[in-house]
Structure 1
Amino acid sequence: MDNHWKRRFIFLWTGQFFSLISSSAVGFAIIIWLSLQTGSAEVLAYAAIAGLLPQALIGPFAGVYVDRWDRKKTMIFADGFVAFCTLVMSISFYLGYENLQLVYIILGLRSVGSAFHMPAMQATIPLLAPRSELLRIAGINQIIKSVSNIAGPALGALAVGLLSIGNVLLLDIAGAALAISSLLFISIPSPQKEHTRTSDVFQVWKDMKGGFHEVIKNKGLTYLFLYSIIAGFCIMPISVLFPLMTIEHFHGGKFEMSIVETTWGIGALVGGGMLGIWKPSIRKVVIVNLSHILIGIAFLWSGLLSPGSFVFFVLLTGLGGIAASFYSAGFTAIVQEEVHSSLLGRVFSMYFSIEVLPTVVGLICTGFVADSIGVNVTFVILGSIIFLVGIVSFMTPSLMNLKK
């Protein structure tokens, strides 16, 4: 490992920061637009499905090619494709063609680009930094994401108030251009890998199974994936329902929605800062398990609040943000330590696909359930499940023995 890895990360993080903050602003603007246009939990759930399902379906195949291709070029082309899709949606809105089907289609195409960018990014980090710094780097990544989540909703709400939704989408294109530009200034080494024929379908299938077996042979890692998938099955629907919880249960508006989203980002920023600045001695698996417990408590308690307790809801949202930041950094660092760098692309892709497919079912059911029994009751039910996942995790020996 050479001494230039910090310089490389400065360029990488700078580009990612502008890309994330623009995507956060545009994503929140779309949520506001959909919420105000429809006021339906089902519509928000379907939009989330459109943004997740394509990535989940092609993820295992994408991961194989991420491990074969130049990861720098993969990220550049993925960012470019996402920007192009956003441009198409912006032009369509500018011409007055605004309907839900178009939004779903473009979100699905953007998801295809993300299927290549996300695993390429995560698989690149161990190639640029010492393994002893992976948790700290994951924490700093959380800081960048958190700042984006704080500023993004505020910027998105402001943009929706001043501009048409078509013009707001142009922010995402500018962010992608800056991310691509930053990648041009760094070199990313490629891990040693076997020479395979990219067009060989059987070899692709074999490589996919290789990523699966890399996880299965490690019993502790298998349980880590299993419990994270169960928790993700509950967390993803709740993240989609936050705007409706604010509007319907606490009788808020655009300003209150921005406060909730910003507070989650502040919490995640605090959590990432604690990991990035103060390098904790506590084991990563303990961090992940405690995070599930805290997230479950935050969601469960939020659902039990009275409509007049919006301030307390905001505080619990901040607690959830801190815990989510701990979880994401801890989980990512564990996988990067346990899995060889030449397999990281397909392992991260496989995990996301396995996590998202049941989550899609959860989103479909949640849209119907939330519209039927109420958003707050949905928070209580799903929060309780996440809390139990954290408790059971501490009772699983093979998981607790990871990196002991």
Structure 2
Amino acid sequence: MKNRIKELRDFYIIWITQSLSQLGSAITGFALTLWMYEKTGSALSTAALTICTYAPYVIMSIFAGAITDKFDKKKTMLICDLLAALTTVVVFVLYKTDTLTMWHLYAINAFSGLMNTVQQPASEVAYSLIVPKEHYQKTSGFQQLSRSLISIGNPLIAAALYGLAGLDTVIAVDLLSFAIAFVALLFFIKLPEIKDGTSKDENVIKLAKEGLKFLKETPLILTVILFMAGVNLTASAFDAVLPALVIPQKGNNVYGIVTACSGLAMVAGSFLPMILPKPKDRVRVIYLTMLFALGIENFLLAFARSSVLWCIGQIIGWVFVPLMAANQNVIMRNVIPIELQGRVYACRNTLQFFTIPIGLFLGGLFVDKICEPFMALKSNDPFWTFLFGSGKGSGAAMMMFILGVTGTAICIISGQIMKKYRYTE
């Protein structure tokens, strides 16, 4: 036990302090959303904050990964964290001088998103450098756990701090968490050097192409990434449809409970990679867990009228996500050479996550323009009302059924393709 703690000392330091910093950033982001909604009353304006944060992640990831592989990982993380913290200071100054506007926040969020785009692949490589291979699965579970806890905790903490003490306190907590992470990384962590022959003079575009070339020449990794892009398309559409299903029928409070169940399920599921032994085939685990999730949750929410069953559906849909993510992480860390990980992880970010904004858009579009109008026309048809109910929300139930069929088809077809890419260690 003592030897294992000693082996993973650096991991525990980075994991705890960076998770704390991520929580602080998430709290500020949520509080700024509350502040903007108070000022504008516009859901679209607040949604644009997320879009501004997310856009650099999708658009610039490939080049960010090349930058990560070109320069020192620790320095890259420190610089990105410092610049992101400075944007928080700018927000504080603008807020205190009563000159903060939504356009400031859009620009600041876009810049912070760009810093995260560069920092994220650098941190992934850093974890690979300090974690022995035999602990990849366990440490991936820890990473999934912290992400799950942050997703649950940040709205509650942000709402409480913002409501009781105001935006000043929220920003102070964020900057304190940043300072802890920055000091820990600067003074207590030493990352091994990577000797790969990459010159700092090499063109970033050339390095980015090398990441894409590696994926093209490694169909195992590319197939898993494209499969997850399909899963993300369905899952993000689900996120857009869920409030349209629950709120009209049960109200905001039930929607909050149903949404919280996904976070709780992910927290519970985060322990699975820590306690389960190595699977015989990690690729099979990836597509079977997603088949279980997408093949049950969407249908359950489509046909159920009970909030209890909706909660059960959320648990089924999310409890195995950390296990899937941990197995994908282990495969990528073992297959991708350490000197290429930054640029390949960045290519992964673009290819795997570009479907999320598309899914969000399509999910909302189909509900508003196709499914709800269709169910309104069929409001007196006993067949359709038996399947999906009646009134507002029935169209969303119909869309859940469509997503269930789509997600199941993606998993079955991809599973047949992925069978030839059995991965064992």
TM-score, normalised to structure 1's length?
0.86
- Which of 273, 276, 285 does residue 274 from structure 2 map onto? 276
Q: Would the alpha carbon gap of residues 312 and 89 (structure 1) be closer, same or farther in structure 2, given more than 3 Å must change?
A: farther
Residue 95 of structure 1, CA deviation: 4.3
| CA gap 1:382/1:18 in 2 versus in 1, 3 angstroms | same
Q: CA deviation at 1:249?
A: 4.7
Q: Say whether 1:5 aligns with 2:3.
A: no
Q: Choose which of 185, 195, 217 in structure 2 pairs with 1:192.
A: 195
Tell me, which stretches of 5 or more residues in structure 2 are unaligned? 373-394
Distance 1:381 1:102, change over 3 A: farther
Change (3 A) 1:24 1:386: farther
**Deviation per residue, 1:18-71 (Å, 9 max, x gap):** 12322343444455566776474x556533322211122221111111112111
Aligned match of 1:89: 91
Letter paired with 2:251:
H
C-alpha distance 304-14 of structure 1, shift in aligned 2 (>3 A): same
Provide the alpha-carbon RMSD of the alignment. 3.0
Partner of 1:334: 331
After superposition, the Cα gap between the structure-2 partners of 1:167 and 1:247, relative to the gap in structure 1 and judged at 3 Å, is farther
- 5+ residue gaps, structure 1, are none
**Normalised by the size of structure 2, how large is the TM-score?**
0.82
Contact 2:65 2:345 in 1 (8 A): yes
Deviation at 1:354, TM superposition (A): 2.2
- Deviation of 1:154 (Å): 2.1
1:387 aligns with 2:408: yes
* Alpha carbons of structure 1 residues 92 and 247: separation in structure 2 relative to 1, 3 Å: farther
Out of 269, 273, 291, the position equivalent to 1:293 is: 291
What's 1:209 paired with? 209
Cα distance in 1, alignment partners of residues 82 and 48 from structure 2: 25
Instruction: Give the number of aligned pairs.
Output: 396
Structure 2 letter corresponding to 1:115: T
| Aligned CA distance change for structure 1 residues 365 and 338 (closer, same or farther; 3 Å) | same
Instruction: For 1:104 and 1:354, locate their aligned partners in 2 and report how far apart those are by CA, in whole Å.
Output: 24
Matched ranges for 1:234-273 at <5 A: 234-239=234-239, 247-253=247-253, 256=254, 259-273=257-271
3-state SS of 2:423 partner: coil
Which digits, 9 at most, give the CA deviation of each residue in 1:313-366, with x for residues without a partner?
Answer: 233223333122122212111111111011010011111112333433333444
Question: Residue 315 of structure 1 aligns with which residue?
Answer: 312
CA shift in 2, pair 1:34/1:317, >3 Å: farther
- 1:264 is aligned with what amino acid? S
| Equivalent in the alignment of 1:149 | 151
Larger radius of gyration: 2
Paired residue secondary structure (2:319): helix
Whether contact under 8 Å (2:24, 2:174) holds in the other structure is: yes
Match of 1:123 in 2: 125
Judged with a 3 Å threshold, the aligned counterparts in structure 2 of structure 1 residues 249 and 165 are, in CA distance, closer, same or farther, namely farther
Q: Determine the C-alpha separation between the residues in 2 that align with 1:204 and 1:244.
A: 43
Q: CA deviation at 1:285?
A: 1.3
Post-superposition Cα deviations, 1:274-298, rounded to whole Å, max 9, x if no partner, equal 1113334342212211232233232
1:49 and 1:363 in contact (8 A); partners too: no
Q: Is the 8 A contact 1:288 1:331 kept in 2?
A: yes
CA distance in 2, matches of 1:317, 1:27: 25
Indicate the SS of the match to 1:395: helix
Structure number with the bigger relative contact order (C-alpha 8 A, sep ≥ 6) is 1
**C-alpha spacing 1:156/1:218, structure 2 compared with 1 (3 Å):** same
Residue in 1 aligned with 2:50? 48
Bigger mean CA deviation after superposition, 44-53 or 238-247: 238-247
Query: Per-residue CA shift, 1:169-217, capped at 9, x if unaligned?
Result: 443333222221221211111222114243x5xx322211111111111
